[in-house]
Amino acid sequence: MEQRNSVVLIPSYQPEETLIILSRGLMNQGFKVLIVDDGSGPSYQHIFEASKEFATVIGYDHNQGKGFALKHGFKYIIDNFGEFKGVITADGDGQHRILDIVAMEEKLSESNTTIIGTRYFDTKIPFKSKIGNDMSQFTQSLSTYRYLQDNQCGLRAFLIKDLPELIKIGGNRYEYEMRVITHLQYKEIPYITMRVETIYEDGNKTSHFRPLLDTLLIQSSILLSGLINIISYIVQAVLAFVFINFVYTSEEIIMRNELSVVSAFLAALILHIVLLLIFYRPRYPAKTILRVLLYQLLILIAIFVTVCLFTEFLGLHILLSYLISAVLTLFPLFYIVKGVGIVYEAQHQ
């Protein structure tokens, strides 16, 4: 069997026999396999020992999290497997088919760009997996104005030359994989998606994902990355209050409300773009600015219309109307971003 040009990296915590089967199958397909024992403990060493027949096994004593294990593996690959072109990250619990891993390696050789595995959930999904998938899609889409059908699939391919940049990304647990996606999107780093099989063995019972704690960790990670958006909303609310009470005081009440909302929005938009360019330094600034302007314009129109309706027909205070409108517009904005994202993914499969 001819040696393939990619290393398969498998972070593993308290694995089952599936890890041995997977590593053997990958070796038979010509892959170099690297397994990282994420502090599984003595009870699982027999599985790692058996896997050594088919893979290189490294690790450490105490559990650190999937993100830490991935970065530990990336560093080892840089130091020891520099002759390879790419690295494919995969889970060792049976969620990823060997056929999909082979297809991803071939696609990486053709495209020379990052590949994100995308599961299309046309089968029944375990409840704890559905919670994390739905929430992360919603939050990340609104933070980056970029939609990804599946931003939690562990099957991904990277060029080894890009690993030093990936190692710098923060996060040691499940949130790390989410931060990688956010990093690619904010930086305008090109990536393509590849449809992979959706597999949940026995309801995904072997997964170590904690539905509440890990979901909160992932969401907080996304919100931290989208802090610029949060700052923008706060600045808008504060400026709207200032404009209403101290700037446009001589105008008629309707004109004062309209001018205040628009002025606050435009000022916050300028701040949003400046902060985005300073902190994330995207590779293609013009593309980033255009995307932000487009979606912010949609938000402005939606907020303006709903504020007028709330103040004129329901008699609500302008600031209360503004806050309610800002929340309500998140949902149609998400579906607009989602629609654009689905078209984009279809073109970059």
298 burial via Cβ count (<10 Å: 0-12, 13-18, 19+)? middle
**Same domain, residue pair 151 and 66:** yes
Q: Which amino acid is at 158?
A: F
Question: What stretches in the chain show pLDDT beneath 70?
Answer: 1, 121-132, 198-225, 251, 254, 347-349
> Does 269 fall in a domain?
yes
- 3, 30 Cβ separation under 8 angstroms: yes
**Same domain, residue pair 265 and 215:** no
**Same domain, residue pair 285 and 263:** yes
Domain of 163 in residue numbering reads as 6-224
pTM of the full predicted structure? 0.82
Residue 27: predicted pLDDT: 95
Structure confidence by residue, pLDDT tens digits, 277-318: 888 888 888 888 998 888 888 888 888 888 888 888 888 887
Q: Where are the beta strands (DSSP E) in 160-268?
A: 191-196
Element (H, E) at 24: helix 18-28
Residue 200: predicted pLDDT: 56
Residue 11: predicted pLDDT: 95
Residue 210: predicted pLDDT: 57
Structure confidence by residue, pLDDT tens digits, 142-199: 888 888 888 888 899 999 999 999 999 988 887 898 889 988 988 888 899 999 886 6
**Same domain, residue pair 125 and 256:** no
Q: Where are the beta strands (DSSP E) in 144-267?
A: 156-159, 191-196
| Rounded Cα–Cα distance for residues 239 and 235 (Å) | 6
Q: Which amino acid is at 277?
A: L
**Same domain, residue pair 11 and 158:** yes
> Does 1 fall in a domain?
no
| Rounded Cα–Cα distance for residues 219 and 174 (Å) | 11
Q: Which of 169, 200, 224 is the last residue of a domain?
A: 224
120, 128, 138, 267, 337 from 16: Cα distances, Å? 26, 20, 33, 55, 39
Structure tokens at 40: 């599984």
> Does 329 fall in a domain?
yes
Residue 4: predicted pLDDT: 92
What residue has token string 């979901």? 215
**Same domain, residue pair 149 and 277:** no
**Same domain, residue pair 181 and 250:** no
| Rounded Cα–Cα distance for residues 31 and 213 (Å) | 35
**Same domain, residue pair 93 and 216:** yes
User: How many CB atoms neighbour CB 2 within 10 A?
Assistant: 5
Residue 31: CATH number of its domain: 3.90.550.10
Largest CA distance in the chain: 81
Of 194, 172, 169, nearest to 181 by C-alpha is 169
Question: For residue 234, which phi and psi values (nearest 5 degrees)?
Answer: -65, -45
